[in-house]
Every structure is written in structure tokens, then in C-alpha cells.
Copies of this chain bind each other. A is one copy, B any other.
Amino acid sequence: MAGRVSVPEFKKERDRLNEIVMKYAGLETKRFYNLDSQVYRKGGALPVKIKELLGLVASLVLRCDECIKYHIIRCSEEGLTDQELEEALSISLIVGGSITIPHLRRSWDTWEELKHSK
């Protein structure tokens, strides 16, 4: 219900906070951050676009706004189409129910913002 945060503001705040995490992080936290990049990386059997879509759907049903925003941005960078996104989000909605609707709304809002900023 909080006010909108634009994509550039989101990235800036995310970077600021990650720096604080890294200031305190022990070896396990750093390794986890590393794994969190590797699973979405190019190579292997699934295209990056699909990996990011899997991350998005997981984030949607778990209802984490920052995670959703991050994967929406990545999906956009990987050239996902409107229809591909709609099909993935409709699966999330059916699996997760109406409780996911506020996050569905903000997903499309970020998608719109990304289209207009191109």
C-alpha cells in the first residue's frame, strides 16, 4: 500500500542496502549471494529468460514485492513478451489465489513503467 518506488530508485536503494549487508556478511552469506546469481546464469538446459520467469513465479506466490520487481526487470531485459508474462502470472494467480492480487497489480505496474522508459 506504500507509495510507488520507481525502477531507478529501487535499484539505488537495493545497492545501498546490499553494501551494508556485505559490510557485515560472513563467508556463508557471501556464498549464498553467489549461489543466488549462479542459478539464473546462462548455460545449461533452460534459457535465462525461463529461469528468470521461474524466479518471478516463485516470488509472486511467496508474495515478496522486491523479489518480484527484481525478476520483472530481469525478464524485461531478457526480452520476455507481454503474452509470456501474462501466462506465467495467470498460473501464479491460480496457484496462489486472490491473496497474490496486490502483487500481481504491482507486477504489471512495473512492467508498464519499464515499457515507457524504453
Residues of A within 8 A of B (CB): 1-3, 5, 10, 13-14, 17-18, 20-21, 23-29, 31-32, 35-36, 38-40, 44-46, 50-51, 53-55, 57-67, 69, 81-102, 104-106, 108-109, 111-112
Contacts and interface: CB of A to CB of B under 8 A. Distances in A.
Contact of A58 (B14, B92, B104): B92
A29 B59 contact: no
A21 B105 contact: yes
Chain copies in the assembly? 6
Contacts of A94: 28, 32, 35-36, 39, 97-98
Contact of A62 (B61, B87, B88, B89): B61
Task: Please list the 9 inter-chain residue pairs (A to B) with the smallest Cβ-Cβ separation, ordered nearest first.
Answer: A97-B97, A2-B2, A17-B105, A66-B102, A45-B83, A58-B95, A45-B84, A96-B97, A1-B5
